[in-house]
Structure 1
Amino acid sequence: MTHPTFTFEDLKDILREGAGADPETLKQTILDATFTDLGFESLALLETLGRIERQYDIALDDAAFTGASTPRALITLVNEQLNAAVA
């Protein structure tokens, strides 16, 4: 059974739409930079969380989400939830 996969492109789209991220900021080289270093405030990240949960029909634990301080960590967290939802 196939399931959706959350990609860096998906995250970039959500950050552009929900947090008003500059497309130039969202390059592949930012995967391991912290959201704080990238200029994303907590309100922008909460909007990102809400958009991910609605779009992918999952619930992300607030503590786990807070611990996902980089784009790579957030992508991993979302994909873990997506995998758990179909298991």
Structure 2
Amino acid sequence: MTQTTFTVDDLKRILREGAGADSGSALDGDITDVSFEDLGYDSLALLETSTRIEREFHLPGDDDALITAKTPRELVDLVNARLAASAA
């Protein structure tokens, strides 16, 4: 069964998996409205993250859409919008 909701906790897990176990301390606490830049994630890290999200959540590839997000809240909203559209 395909998961139909993407959460900040899902995003934190995927970011930690992509960056390695030692690189996740910036993800502690409420990061919802902190920019990815302030969290230490560059465009390459976000590209990797979007690829992982698309693969895990079975979304059709459109890397450019997800890497436009500036904060975790924006990325979660984009992923959830795509999940809703693919379920319709």
TM-score by length of 1: 0.84
Once the two structures are overlaid, the 10-residue window that deviates more, 18-27 or 64-73, is 18-27
| Percent identity (aligned) | 55
Name structure 1 gaps, 5 residues minimum. Answer: none
Q: Which amino acid aligns with 1:30?
A: I
Partner deviation per Cα, 1:7-54 (whole Å, 9 max, x = no partner): 111101100001237343213421111101111011111110110000
1:4 is aligned to: 4
Matched, 1:14 2:4: no
Structure 1 runs of 4+ aligned residues shifted over 6 Å read none
Q: Contact 2:50/2:67 (CA < 8 Å) preserved in 1?
A: no
Q: Contact 2:51/2:63 (CA < 8 Å) preserved in 1?
A: no
Q: Which amino acid aligns with 1:52?
A: I
Q: Contact 1:60/1:81 (CA < 8 Å) preserved in 2?
A: no
Backbone CA RMSD of aligned residues? 2.0
TM-score by length of 2: 0.83
Q: Which amino acid aligns with 2:6?
A: F
Name structure 2 gaps, 5 residues minimum. Answer: none
Cα distance in 2, alignment partners of residues 54 and 5 from structure 1: 15
Q: Contact 1:35/1:70 (CA < 8 Å) preserved in 2?
A: yes
The size of the alignment, in residue pairs, is: 86
